[in-house]
Amino acid sequence: MSEREEEKQSSDTVNDTEPGQDVSKEYGRTVSESKVETFHIIMPKDLNDSGRLFGGVLMAWIDEVAGLVGRRHAQMNVTTGSVDNLKFLHGAYLHDMIVITGKVTHVGNKSMEVKVDTSVEHIGGKRELINRAFLTLVGIDENDRPARLPRLILETEEDRKEWGRAERRRQIRLHEKETGFHFYGDEG
């Protein structure tokens, strides 16, 4: 049996419920169970030569949060497969408090999408969104091979909306993969 046929057969037996249906905790985890929030104070070492938070530092923090979210959901090691979308909306500056929040928005058989929002938290607690990213992570077994992931249990209407939006992004990624769309020019 090919790997694709095995994946199809496995998905029919393990992931045969609709998002949001009652699923035993043995087979799934909720969005809230894997949510992660981290905090950083921007220090001089985190700045670029324009005095703003260096994008590479933020990207590392985002990847770390996504990895923590993925690991909490999968209960195994994970690896970043791709960063699907990374939007820098506003700058952040020396001594700003950065809040990075990640949560699972979609789970397939062996990969999951994690949404990571980055905000500056101002004195008084008001948060301003400065970045949003979507990452695809893959569960990794003890042999460093992609592994089956627990289902995502959707508890709230917002969880279901996020799932729907993630499904649309997944369809776009699949279409790009099928059409050979890439950013690096012609192969060869």
Question: Could you report the per-residue pLDDT of 145-170, keeping only the tens digit for each?
Answer: 999 999 999 999 999 999 999 999 99
Could you tell me the pTM of the whole model? 0.82
DSSP H helical segments within the chain, as ranges?
3-14, 31-34, 55-74, 157-179
Q: Is the pLDDT of residue 85 over 90?
A: no
Q: Which residue has the tokens 């499904």?
A: 167
Q: Is the pLDDT of residue 55 over 60?
A: yes
Domain regions of the chain by residue span: 24-179
More confident residue, 164 or 21: 164
Q: Give the closest residue to 168 by CA, choosing from 105, 124, 109, 76.
A: 105
At residue 9 the predicted structure's pLDDT band, cuts being 50, 70 and 90, is very low
Q: Is the pLDDT of residue 91 over 50?
A: yes
Q: Which helix (H) or strand (E) holds 87?
A: strand 77-88
Give me the CATH code for the 24-179 domain, please: 3.10.129.10
d(CA 136, CA 117): 15
